Structure 1
């Protein structure tokens, strides 16, 4: 598949794999990250795969910087055919433990930055009559989870935005999709923001949740498999709005999408903090 792909969050994990796999598929890949000095693992993976990547700086919380990056890609490559919104950050904490600054940060990284970057590429795709916008959300974009209030809130928001956009964009030949991984073995866990470590009324519940999460990530899907699923969505010959990266993710998301009164999800997640 020829074309130009812009991928965010490619310094590690799923984003790194997706960037390399898209280059293997024949796309010219602009692999972006907040700090290009952390591109060592990406460059090593690209070399091992026998592909070349155009590595650039992009911070999804910096709107002028995003505009400059997109302008540079259009100037140097002429177009953007595929956007993969992969950059994101997790957050652990229930409502009382979260500062509003933390909530805003989650929205900036996981929602507003995605919206801003999507807006920047849409005019060119619309004028070309083709394009793909792939946003990596999470099963947390369909299933609300204990102590993930801010994170799931931002992921729910971005899924709602993209699902609303999808039917309008497709009238102009642009496919809009979301990819929903479950637990993935990557640096994502290490980058999760956590509440202050001080005694409080939620200690026992949080300890149970963290123990459950640790068990989930100990048997997590590999970043290679999840990244390959993202690349497969971006290069698919047929359109689907919603993609999952594993059978476990499909079952988990399906539990929520078929849960008309919400009790099925609440019944499942109550056990996480027992």
Structure 2
């Protein structure tokens, strides 16, 4: 039986490209998304290339949809080989400006969604004593950035969550964990980030205005660079994910571009793939 993979957030961007790439690489793909009405792009690719992809509804903020999707996969295949935690959303406002509802939303989509989905698949992978959980993080999971404290905070939480699991679940149950850390991605994710960035109101006239203006100008400049671009395509990131999935001894952490590597080097230089830290913690406590 071919390997299978559950991918969250496959309507656009990295999730969409990953679903297509995994299928082309011989996986049975379960592509999930919150809103099935946004599945047209994926359906067109399935039809065009005759891809082995099933589309399922899954909202990472709703446990009942996660449970239903995972149980559907297990009932069909009796196993789950790879989970790709891809779903997420950009956000850029100061903590002062963000509403309580926005704070909860950023945390739920970018952190708790990873927790809930991982929690749901772990019992099955533990029973089969195999599996690979790959989670899309960001350089923002390693380095805090202006006007991104809520997003970065959620991604820092993701990194700590996955790293902690790797210290005892991996050696005990043969389940691998990998965190993917891109820089900017030219995708709907960027559209989401811009949509959820304060560009009016307080930032237009308040004390943060000149700082925010400088921040936005810098983002625009990097987006327009033609040499070593900050922004990758979704396919470029998906290719890194696909490569990691085929690695028998995958890294805990991997940056997806030279820019991302350079941006985070003060945090990663001593332990680029994160495995030394995990091994040290495992040795210390277990």
What is the TM-score normalised by the length of structure 1? 0.90
Aligned pair 1:239/2:250, yes or no? yes
Q: Report the equivalent of 2:192.
A: 191
Bigger mean CA offset, 62-71 vs 27-36:
62-71
Bigger mean CA offset, 59-68 vs 37-46:
37-46
Which ranges of 4 or more aligned residues in structure 1 deviate by more than 3 Å?
46-50
Bigger mean CA offset, 250-259 vs 236-245:
250-259
Aligned pair 1:122/2:122, yes or no? yes
Q: Is the 8 A contact 2:27 2:52 kept in 1?
A: no
Aligned pair 1:157/2:196, yes or no? no
Q: Report the equivalent of 1:264.
A: none
CA offsets 1:184-216 (integer angstroms, 9 cap, x no match):
110111112123611211111111111212233
Measured in 2, the distance between the counterparts of 1:178 and 1:20 equals 20
**1:43 Cα shift?**
2.1
**1:2 Cα shift?**
2.8
CA offsets 1:141-163 (integer angstroms, 9 cap, x no match):
00100000100000000000000
Q: Report the equivalent of 1:230.
A: 241
How many residues align? The count is 259
Q: Is the 8 A contact 1:137 1:180 kept in 2?
A: yes
Bigger mean CA offset, 234-243 vs 156-165:
234-243
Q: Report the equivalent of 1:134.
A: 134
Measured in 2, the distance between the counterparts of 1:256 and 1:45 equals 39
Aligned pair 1:147/2:135, yes or no? no
CA offsets 1:102-122 (integer angstroms, 9 cap, x no match):
121111001111001001000
**1:139 Cα shift?**
0.5
What is the TM-score normalised by the length of structure 2? 0.86
Q: Report the equivalent of 2:214.
A: 208
Measured in 1, the distance between the counterparts of 2:268 and 2:13 equals 27
Unaligned runs of 5+ in 2: 271-286
Measured in 2, the distance between the counterparts of 1:87 and 1:229 equals 17
Aligned pair 1:221/2:232, yes or no? yes
**1:228 Cα shift?**
1.1
